[in-house]
Structure 1
Amino acid sequence: MNNIFITGIGTGVGKTVASACVAEALGAQYWKPVQAGFEDGTDTETVRELTSPQVTVHDELYRLAMPASPHLAARAEGIVVQEERILERARQLQQPGRPLVIEGAGGLMVPLNGDYFFLDLARALGAKVIVVAQNYLGSINHSLLTAMALRNAGVPVAGWIFSGADHSNEADVVEWSGYPLISHIPAAGRLNPEFVALHAGLMQPRLLELLSR
């Protein structure tokens, strides 16, 4: 499968904007299989609004009302998030020569059900992972734990996208993790399609280089 999986070192670190930029840079498809919480809109709607028509945005497979971990949100609705349903839908979405950018929720160890985590899903998808990080107190620890989990699981990693304010620790995280830098997406004064197109263009050469390895 021609899959790219976008994860973060935690919640609210810029995964959705990074996903929009990656999808725009590659002229790719975008898919968030599980959305938990949609009262204030969904990540799928955000990516649809921020990208050009060259990006195909697919609807979620699971759309859960509670803004919580997917396993808790699904439990509240009396359903179970099923790995095989997600994998089957991913197979249906494959297009030759066109990547599918898949956005997770939270970080790698967020559970989808009682014993299945986003790390397991990324591995089962055969995806190359892009990790999104922000600079905050504790972010070095969260970044390196994420890198360690990916390495221990044998999941291929394309590299890091840092988001938000400048990171005094970007170079250190890149060196200590052993995973390369793809790009830095600054905080947006105004988040709109023009912002996404600009940063998609800036990251495109490096992104294509790292994904081809």
Structure 2
Amino acid sequence: MKKYFVTGIDTDSGKTVASAILVEKLQADYWKPIQAGAPTDSDTIRSLVKGERKIHPEGIVLKAPMSPHAAAKLENINLNLTDIKMPSAEKTLVIEGAGGLMVPINDHEFVIDLAKQFEAEVILVSRNYLGSINHTMLSIDYLKSNGFDIAGIIFNDTPNPETESFILNHSNLPCLGRIDAMPVIDKTSIQSQLQNITL
């Protein structure tokens, strides 16, 4: 089973949209290990995919829309990586992280650590904005320095060829696609993006 862990350079990088596109492109299953707040990303994925895709129940659902470590403390939950068990899947599994790489699960573990625990290749979603080069390069440096298997980068939203070229040249990572800005995000617009993904 092929596994991809979708993470982003920040909370609003577009992980859920990228995940929906990947689920349709790869005809894959979807799973959200940690959900904090509502509506859930699983529900969003369900509303965006056309095919009969398997959306696995979340590993853990926390009520407060905040970082998992803080949301878990509000509910008196001692959250640890080993508590989260990957579902059994026959197809490719798209796993969506929560927030950016370094979002804490507890006082010593981070969301990105789930990628290594599940032996999943990391797909980094980079959204173009002022400062995104710095955030993207720092994210890549962390992934490389800590031995993560990186599948590549997806650029999201308004194109910036100079920014994208710099990131790709200096990271030596493949570009897995570019997601166009979508005024309306729905099943139709998600389908229109499938041709832009090269994975």
Could you state the TM-score of these two structures normalised by the residue count of structure 1? 0.89
- The 5 Å alignment of 1:189-200 reads 189-200=183-194
Tell whether the 8 Å contact from 1:2 to 1:94 is kept in structure 2 after alignment. no
Tell whether the 8 Å contact from 1:5 to 1:128 is kept in structure 2 after alignment. yes
Moved over 3 A (4+): none
Name whichever structure is richer in helix by fraction: 1
Selected match of 1:171 from 165, 170, 186: 165
Partner of 1:118: 111
Distance 2:128 2:56 in 1: 30
Amino acid at match of 1:105: A
Amino acid at match of 2:88: L
Partner of 1:75: 73
Tell whether the 8 Å contact from 2:178 to 2:196 is kept in structure 1 after alignment. no
For structure 2, the residue ranges without an aligned partner over 5 or more in a row are none
Tell whether the 8 Å contact from 2:36 to 2:66 is kept in structure 1 after alignment. yes
Amino acid at match of 1:154: G
Q: Structure 1 residues 194-203 or 72-81, which shifts more?
A: 194-203
Partner of 1:128: 121
Amino acid at match of 2:102: M
Could you state the TM-score of these two structures normalised by the residue count of structure 2? 0.95
Distance 2:89 2:2 in 1: 7
Selected match of 1:104 from 84, 91, 97: 97
SS of alignment partner, residue 140 of structure 1: helix
Distance 2:111 2:63 in 1: 19
Counterpart check, 1:141 vs 2:134: yes
Using the TM superposition, give the Cα deviation of residue 82 of structure 1 relative to its aligned residue in structure 2, in angstroms.
2.5
Q: After superposition, give the CA deviation of every residue in 1:28-53 in whole Å (9 maximum; x if it has no partner).
A: 00011111111xx1211110000023
Using the TM superposition, give the Cα deviation of residue 8 of structure 1 relative to its aligned residue in structure 2, in angstroms.
0.1
For structure 1, the residue ranges without an aligned partner over 5 or more in a row are 208-213
Distance 1:138 1:108 in 2: 16
SS of alignment partner, residue 118 of structure 1: coil
